Structures are given as C-alpha cells and as structure tokens.
Chains A and B, each alone.
Chain A
Amino acid sequence: MANSKSAYSFAGKKQKLDTHIIVVWVDNEAGVLARVVGLFSGRGYNIESLAVAEVDQSLNISRVTIVTTGTPQVIDQIKLQLKKLVPVHKVADFKREDKNVIFKEMALFKLVGNKIKLEKAFKACKKYDAVILDKTNKSHVIQITALRREIDSMTSNLKKFGLVSVSRTGAVAMTRGAEVFK
C-alpha cells in the first residue's frame, strides 16, 4: 500500500473544459467588481476576459461580462456562487458555441509606416467593420469589432504592416432575436 502523506484526498479525474460567457447584472457600488473578481480568484476559477460598464444610470446597474473556462460542475458553481453575492441581480450563462448569442470584442490598432503599408493594413481590417479613428502621414489608429480569435489573428497579420500597439476590450454578449434574459 502506497504511503500517502496527505491529510487530504487526491484530485479526481480531469474533466473536459468548456468555454462559457457569464453575464452578471450587479449594483454599481464600491467594491462590487472586487467581489466578483475575488470570487473567481478565491475559488480558483479562470477569467479569460472581462468587460464591465454601467448600463442603467437610473437604477445604477452594471453589466459584467466574463469569459471563463471550466468543467460543467465548475461552471455551475460559478453561477450559483455569483447568485449568492448580495449586489448581484441576475446571472446569465452562454456557451461560446451558442448560435443564438452574439459575442463581440473591440480592438484598437496603432500602425506606423508608409502610405502603402497603412492602406494594406486598413484593407485587411475591412471585413471587421474597420474605422480609422486617427490619421497622420505616418500612422493610423484603426478600430475593429470582431470575435476573439479573429482579433488574435489580425494582431499577428498586421505586424508586417507596422503594428506598434494593440488595445482591446473583453467580450460583450447579447442574445439574438426579441427575447430578453430575465
């Protein structure tokens, strides 16, 4: 018999991980983000990206969108633990593959180079609703909105066109159609 020196049991089998987008409606009060994020770090859950902003000024409601990975059991725990927080109103959970939900991230690219390079860069961005926000002879700041992996690939593609700086948001999500999550 192997000599176990642990006062605890061993970790069980590893299960498959899924990526989920969790949307949380919270009271916009001091420390609320720390409560949400602290819950994730304290219990060892992942945060891949995070987007927060107030969505209802009169009711002081903020909408937090968190992209996370975990086993089905962990995802369930995340939702239930979030619902226990006092400032949390409701929690929605979407699978990344869900066709009924729109996911978007926004990115800003700063490119520095000659005119030809800058034009090529803008062209490459075009299919992602590209907008030039700032323009000089030597540089562009381009905004795109796309999926995470599309932005990932754009950041590597644009390197050859003089990409010098990237700023991007976390994902935000909304369901398709007339329905609203209650």
Chain B
Amino acid sequence: MPKLYSGAEIVFKCLEDQGVSNIFGYPGGAVLPIYDELKNFKSIKHYLVRHEQGAGHAAEGYARSTGKPGVLLVTSGPGATNAVTALTDAYMDSVPLVCISGQVPTHLIGTDAFQECDTTGITRPCTKHNWLVKDVKDLAKTIHKAFEVSTTGRPGPVLVDIPKDIQFQKTNYINYKRKIKLKGKSHNQFSKNDIEELVNLLKKASKPIFYTGGGVVNSGPKASELLRELVRATGFPITSTLQGLGCYPADDNQFLGMLGMHGTYEANNAMYECDLMINIGARFDDRITGKIDEFSPNSKKVHIDIDPSSINKNVKVDLAIVGDVKSVIESTIKTLKKTKHDFLKSNKQKTSKWWEKIQKWRSRRSLDYIGSEETIKPQYAVERLYELTKDKDTYITTEVGQHQMWAAQHYKFNKPNRWMTSGGLGTMGYGLPAAVGVQVAHPNKLVIDIAGEASVLMTMQEMSTAVQYGLPIKIFILNNEYMGMVRQWQELLHDKNYSESYTAALPDFVKLAEAYGCVGLRAKTPEELDDKIIEMLNTDQPVIFDCLVDKQENCFPMIPSGKPHNQMLLGPNDQKSKKITGKGRTLV
C-alpha cells in the first residue's frame, strides 16, 4: 500500500515538484498544520514577513526579478484580506503569484466562524482564477493547475484556499509529471500572413516607432535579445512603457526614453506624429495614451499581445497579432531577413527625415531640471545613484509617486528583470517588500528601493524581515516631507490647496533604522551626497538612506489630464526661458 500524505504534506510536495525554493508567509490558526510540516521539507525556505501584504509584494519582487512564480502562504480571514492589495497589484501588472491561504474547517464555512471570510469570493476579481479545495483528493491536482494557470499565457496571480480539516486529511500523492510546456505554443494564434503583413508595414513606414511594454519582460530574457535585434535591424526608434524599461538598453541612441504622462518630449511627440506604431506587449493604458480621441491620429497601429482581450480594448488597431512576444519577434526577424536582406540600408533614407525630427525634439532635453548647490534635487539624487551603481548589476524597486517617475526617467536600465515597480495599481508601499523578495532571489546582488518617505511608511515594518534574514536591501528615500505627486497635482490643478498632503510628524529615519537593527544614513546637501551613497553601497547590511531633497520640486515633463501627447508640460527651465511655443506651452 502506498504511503498516505496529509493535505499539509501534499502542499509542500507540490511546491517541491514545482521547483519552489522560497516562500513568503505569515502563520495563523487556519494554516497551522501546513506550518507544522515546514520542518520536514528542507528544500523550501520560508521567509516570515510582518504583514501579509508584504508577503505578496515580496513574492512579486521575487517573481519579476526571476521570471518564476512567487509563492505566499497566509492564514484565513485577515491573512487573506491583507494579501488582497498585493494580489490586485500582481493582477494589474501580470505577475505570476500563487497564494495559498488557510480556511476554517469545511463544516464551519458559512457560519461566520472565527477568522472566516469568503476568500474565494473576495479574491475572485483580483486573481486569474481561484479554488476552494473541499476534498483532499483534489488538492494536488488543484495546486499544480494553479501553477499552470498562473504562469501560462498572460501571467497573473491565483489563489488556493485550503480548509483546515483538508490539511489534516490523508490521501496518496501521485508524482507530478511536468507536461510538455504549453507556454507560448497554445497562445500563439498568429499566422504567417500576419507576420508578412507586419513586415510589409515595416517596409512602407517612413515615420515608424516601436512602443514596448512589460509583455517583453514576461516573455523571458530571450525576448529582450530578439527585440534588440529587431530594433537594430530596422533602425527604427523605440520607446517603452514604465513596465518595459530595461528590455532595450536605455543608453542606446535608438531609445527615446519612457513615454506617457511623465515620458520624454521626444517619445510622446514621436508617438503623436508617427505613421506606424508597433506595440509590443503593452496595453494602451490611460497613463500612456492621454486623451484617447487624439491618440496618435495618423498612424497605422500594430498590436502584439498574448492576451486577445488587450487588443482593441482602449485603442482600435489595424493589425492584431496574438502571440508570445518572443515567437512573434522571432518569426518577424526571419521573414524580414528572407524578404529584404538589406532592410537597414534601404530604410535609412526613408526614415532619415523622421530621425532629424526626433533629434530636434530630443534637443529640448525635456528631462533637464534646474540644479542647486544648497539643496539636493531629487533628480540629481537619482542621477548620482545611477552613476555610482551602474557598474554593478543593480536591481531597483520603487514605491509610487514622484520618486518613481524620477527613477524611471533618470535611472538607466540596460537589462530586463532589473526594474520592479507598481504600475497598474500604483501601490504605495510596494517597493520595500518587493526589495526583500528580489534580495531573496538574488542574494549577492545590489538591491535598492528608490522610495518616497510617505510610501515607504506604509510597509516599513518589513525592515524587520530584512534584518531577520540578513537581506542587505538599500532603502533610498527621497524625503520631501510631502506626498509629492499629490502635492504636485494640488499645485497644478487645485489652486495650491495642499490638503492633507504634508506629513507633519515624520519619524527620524536614521533612528528608525537603528531601532530596526540596521544602518541609517542621511544626506542633506549635494556636496555630501556622493560620499553617503558610497557609504551605503559599502555597507553589507540593510540600510535606510534618508535623502533630504527639495520640497517643492515637480516632476516634469508631464501630459496634463485630458490632453493628447503633443500638448506636454515641460519643466521650469523651459517655461522660464519661454522656449516653448504654441501648443507645448499650454498650461493646465
């Protein structure tokens, strides 16, 4: 007779079979049997967080920096509801997460038992799929299915809710055989004709632009390599969304920088005036398109996406290619080489005028800011951080707000999976726990959370996690004492009524660091900034870096709400010297 395993054992057997080595979680009444088994599975390391939201974001950071699914283990009721923010965040940004939650015993479900909540009901709209396991015989099958759903197609979070009595019950475990990987294949719905049509459009275009997004990262490192090959083979300009940064090297001449609300002048104008837009793995988000009726009015639009429901959702496109980015680019390059061997040469002439125009936009230097010798400008701080870390293979996470946009604008990413930020949901408090997850996945790499003082306080307790496991994450706080982005909108749109956006009683971050048992550093002037950053980099412990920056600085350039791409608001430099004329000067 084969050995019988308890539900709790089966959970770990499944995780082992799925190749999971790190999980993030927090124990509680309804998951105690699972926690009890932890000691018997040495290949799985558990990281105790301080709040279940932290477990979720840590798992996200782990997933995004490795491409593997992140796993979290939480208890019923408050454990599950605390994880909801992270699950929603992962859903919006297509991050593969598997959340295992405990539930009250099956006979108590529906009785308002202690720490009971309708977990599958609450998480239904924020997961790709979820399961309540009511029979221990279904447990293994369900967990393996959960991993499959989470990681195939457009990735996303899933949840498996396991009642406590199921964790105790015993059944046999049939070894899981990894099926032939369906990923890619079953999701590629494009035909040869689609690719030929795309190549045809590439040939005809005189004002083309690539617009790439997080889908390239999700398609794996090979997709980024192929993207680089395609962009170089065509000689076309390329811009990227917030999530796509790193797929194409930021210091390359063909890269126009990020686009969208706080994107560069050249990227947004090129999007507005192009005659061919090739969207690769992005989703025409409202922060990208601005006013949808006037979004890139004269272009043919191609959309490459693995999720058919992304196509024609916000913007109607002329050519839809449903498939995995990697496979689509691969066949595009193949077809391109076959049909037109000297594409680049023949194409240079055609796009030369376009490049001249782009150079003109570029010469506006839209990311410039007015420097200062007395106070640290936040942009300067990010620039220095970049200069001092660019030789290392650095992983950057962020919170949400002005600092996030400055990081995206001024930190130059050259590799995919190095940039972890909450884009879709915009979750303040994402960066610190995400950094924990990234550091777990990459113990010997430099991991920095570029943070704002308001955001970071939302999940500050996870410093305790970092200290416990000796994860030397660096929390680089651009401290302006305001919720900076809120303050900026209030200045520009609400007559400078700074309603509740100033935090009057902030903690002393250096002392706070000491209280957590890590290192606190503070920089007050531009003069001492470099030395302090170097000190931070040389510290082999978690560090909270309190960087006191200009309190009034705004994040520019900016597309005001309800405006198209060609009506950008540029920075104070431009506004003062009145260099901008016409539409570009339109203030909000």
- A residues with a Cβ closer than 8 A to B are 1, 3-10, 12-13, 30-31, 34-35, 38, 42, 73, 76-77, 80-81, 83-86
Asked if A86 meets B129 with Cβ closer than 8 Å, knowing A9-B286, A81-B309, the reply is yes
B312-A76 in contact (CB<8A): yes
Residues in B lying within 8 Å of A, measured CB to CB? 120-121, 124-125, 128-129, 132, 149, 286, 289-293, 307-309, 311-313, 316, 489, 493-494, 560-562, 586-588
Write out the residue numbers on chain A whose beta carbons fall within 8 Å of the beta carbon of B588: 1, 3-4
Q: Tell me the minimal C-beta distance from B225 to chain A in angstroms.
A: 29
Known: A4-B561, A77-B313. A83 touches B308 (CB 8 A): yes
| Known contacts A8-B561, A86-B128, A34 near B309 by CB under 8 Å | no
Consensus secondary structure, chain A interface? loop
When the two chains form their complex, are residues B309 and A4 in contact, meaning their CB atoms are under 8 A apart?
Answer: no
Nearest-Cβ distance from residue A75 to partner chain B, whole angstroms: 11
The reply to whether A6 and B562 form a contact with Cβ atoms under 8 Å apart is yes
Chain A contacts for B311, CB-based, 8 A: 80
Q: A8-B286, A31-B120 are in contact. Are A80 and B308 (CB under 8 A)?
A: yes
Residue pairs across A and B with Cβ atoms less than 8 A apart, 13 shown, are A4-B561, A4-B562, A4-B588, A9-B561, A9-B562, A38-B124, A42-B125, A77-B309, A80-B309, A83-B308, A83-B309, A85-B129, A86-B128
Q: Is the CB of A34 within 8 A of B121?
A: yes
How long is the Cα–Cα vector from A30 to B149 in the complex, in angstroms? Answer: 18
Residues of B within 8 A of A12 (CB): 292-293
B125 contacts A38, C-beta separation under 8 Å: yes
Residues of B within 8 A of A77 (CB): 309, 312-313
Tell me whether B560 and A9 are in contact (CB under 8 A).
no
User: What 13 new A-B contacts, CB under 8 Å, besides A3-B493, A9-B561?
Assistant: A4-B493, A4-B560, A4-B562, A5-B493, A5-B494, A6-B562, A7-B489, A8-B562, A9-B290, A10-B562, A31-B121, A80-B311, A84-B307
A169 to chain B, nearest CB (A): 26
Q: Give the distance to chain A from B145, nearest Cβ to Cβ, in Å.
A: 8
Pick from A7, A10, A35, A76: contact of B124, CB under 8 Å: A35
CA distance A117 to B120 in the complex (A): 52
What is the total of A-B residue contacts with beta carbons within 8 Å? 62
Interface centre among B149, B309, B312 (most CB of A within 10 A): B309
Knowing A9-B561, A30-B132 touch, does A73 contact B312 (C-beta < 8 A)? yes
- Knowing A4-B562, A34-B121, A34-B124, the reply to whether A9 touches B312 (Cβ < 8 A) is no
- Contact between B290 and A31 (Cβ–Cβ < 8 Å)? no
Give the shortest distance, in Å, between A175 (CB) and chain B (any CB): 24
B587 contacts which chain A residues (CB < 8 A)? 1
Complex contacts, B286 vs chain A, CB 8 Å: 8-9
Closest to B120 in A: A31
Chain B residue contacts of A31, Cβ below 8 A: 120-121, 124, 132
A5 to B497, CA, bound (A): 13
* Chain A residues closer than 8 Å to B489, beta-carbon distance: 7
CB distance from B211 to the nearest CB of A (A): 18
Across the interface, do B561 and A6 meet the contact criterion of CB distance under 8 Å? yes
Q: Is the CB of B561 within 8 A of A7?
A: yes
Given the contacts A34-B121, A86-B129, A9 and B309 also touching, CB distance less than 8 Å? no
- Contact check: which of A4, A6, A13, A42 meets B293 at CB < 8 Å? A13
Chain A nearest CB, measured from B146 CB (Å): 10
List chain A residues, Cβ under 8 A from B125.
38, 42
| Residues of chain A with a CB closer than 8 A to B289's CB | 9
Task: Compute how far the CA of A4 lies from the CA of B569 in the bound complex, rounded to whole angstroms.
Answer: 14
In the complex, what's the smallest C-beta–C-beta distance from A2 to chain B, in angstroms?
Answer: 9
Q: How far is the CA of A162 from the CA of B534 in the complex (A)?
A: 89
Residues of B within 8 A of A6 (CB): 561-562
| Chain B neighbourhood of A81, CB < 8 A | 309
Chain B residues within 8 Å of A13, by CB: 293
Q: B residues within 8 A CB of A1?
A: 586-588
Q: What 5 pairs between A and B have smallest CB-CB spacing? A: A80-B309, A86-B129, A9-B562, A4-B562, A9-B291
User: Closest CB of chain B to A43's CB: distance in Å?
Assistant: 9
Q: In the complex the two chains form, what is the Cα distance from A73 to B560 in whole Å?
A: 27
| A80–B562 CA distance with the chains assembled, in angstroms | 28
- B149 near A86 with CB under 8 A, answer yes
Q: Closest CB-CB distance, A13 to chain B, in whole Å?
A: 7
Which residue of chain A has its CB nearest to the CB of B158? A86
- The smallest C-beta distance from A132 to any residue of chain B, in angstroms, reads 41
Minimum CB–CB distance for A36 against chain B, Å = 11
List, in ascending order, chain A residues with CB within 8 A of B307's CB: 84
Q: Which residues of B contact A73 (CB under 8 A)?
A: 312-313, 316
A81 to B154, CA, bound (A): 13
A142 to chain B, nearest CB (A): 39
Residues of chain B within 8 A (CB-CB) of A84 are: 128, 307, 309
Q: What residues of B have a CB within 8 angstroms of the CB of A5 in the complex?
A: 493-494
Listed residue (A5, A13, A34) with the most chain B CB atoms within 10 angstroms of its CB:
A5
Q: How far is the CA of A13 from the CA of B128 in the complex (A)?
A: 31
A85 to B293, CA, bound (A): 30
Q: In whole Å, how far is A37's beta carbon from the nearest beta carbon of chain B?
A: 10
Complex interface: chain B residues within 8 A of A10 (CB): 291, 562
